[in-house]
Amino acid sequence: MKTAIVILNWNGVKLLRQFLPSVLSYSEDAAIYVIDNASTDESVSVLETEFPAVHIIQNKKNYGFAQGYNEGLKTIDADYYCLLNSDVEVTKDWLKPIENLLDTHPEIAAIQPKILDYNNRNKFEYAGAGGGFMDNYGYPFCRGRVFWTLEEDLGQYNDTIECFWASGACLFIRKVDFIAQQGFDEDFFAHMEEIDLCWRLKNNGRKIYYCGSSTVYHVGGGTLQKNNPKKTYLNFRNSLYMYLKNLPKKQLFPLIFKRLCLDGMSAIVFLFYEGIGHLWAIFMSHMHFYRGFSTMYKKRGPHQITNFGTKKLVPYQYFIKKKHVYKDLE
């Protein structure tokens, strides 16, 4: 089998009923799997009765995103995995451009399509948009989405380019590369794990791409809404874990120190924008980063990427200089 489309599910029977039909309709040449993270709703029985063409893998418990995929993928044999969120609608011929890229460019390890907003279909979606990048302080952003600003899709990102990271909402990755990196880091549980995986791939000389000729529509926030303090906690903690694992030694401690200081400033911004729960989430993310420091430091591997940032400090440009669109960033 060339491509296996793999959806991780936890108590998402409504989403399965809503979005699996498009995957089945437009993915004729791929095998479709659902990894169920020990759901307590009707997910498994609905899959068995209403979607008999879908292969079901049942995890023993809810392992979260990272370990949930790691466990389920152990039994799936395909050249390419497409890790697809359960709240994604795919489109006709969405697989072909990406499979062609992987077939003809062996240096590419992972690819994401153009990701648009399911509920506002002419705009890019928060998770991935037009391809993921990092600024020079390690803050992730996307073409088409900078912090809370989403661009309208006017065809400006219909290209195919190398990027820094591909979104976990719809991540195509070669099986051999996924195995070589031992999959997602399970200590992340959820959020930022795909950026960490892409960074590790790049540190090993592999390439990450965005393919604008393939389009999907993502609802977003299916498990945790953007304004949920737990999501803030996971994003801030896991970003620090990611730097500790992947930064070159010369940049490691100076950048982490600067990032800790900037996180403190971000906590004040979150206090005014989102409330005290988010300030507390950032504080706890730092406390747990210190607690996990030794474990994460031991995971450091090769570090070939030294110039990872394509833009200058994006939070400063966004909040202070009011530059909200990718093309305006310095």
Tokens of 173: 């990755």
Q: Answer yes or no: is pLDDT of 274 > 90.
A: no
pLDDT the model gives residue 32? 98
Residues 180/301, Cβ–Cβ less than 8 Å:
no
Helix, strand, coil: what percent of the chain each, to 5?
A: 40, 20, 40
Sign (positive/negative) of CA torsion 108, 110, 125, 246?
negative
Answer whether 0.85 is exceeded by the pTM: yes
Return the number of other C-beta atoms located less than 10 Å from residue 268's C-beta.
11
- Provide the percentage of residues in the chain whose pLDDT is more than 70: 98
Q: What is the mean pLDDT of the chain?
A: 95
| pLDDT classification of 31: cutoffs 50, 70, 90 | very high
| pLDDT classification of 270: cutoffs 50, 70, 90 | confident
Could you read off the pLDDT of 69-83 as tens digits, one per residue?
Answer: 999 999 999 999 999
Q: Answer yes or no: is pLDDT of 156 > 60.
A: yes
| Residues in CB range of 19: below 8 A, 6 or more apart | 86, 87, 88, 89
pLDDT the model gives residue 220? 83
**In angstroms, what CA-CA distances link 174 with 73, 110, 136?**
12, 7, 28
pLDDT the model gives residue 226? 60
| pLDDT classification of 275: cutoffs 50, 70, 90 | confident
pLDDT the model gives residue 135? 95
**In DSSP terms, which residues pair with 311 in a beta bridge?**
135
pLDDT the model gives residue 272? 82
Could you read off the pLDDT of 217-259 as tens digits, one per residue?
Answer: 999 865 555 678 999 999 999 999 999 999 999 999 999 999 9
Tokens of 65: 């995103």
| pLDDT classification of 303: cutoffs 50, 70, 90 | confident
pLDDT the model gives residue 196? 97
Sign (positive/negative) of CA torsion 59, 298, 307, 106?
negative
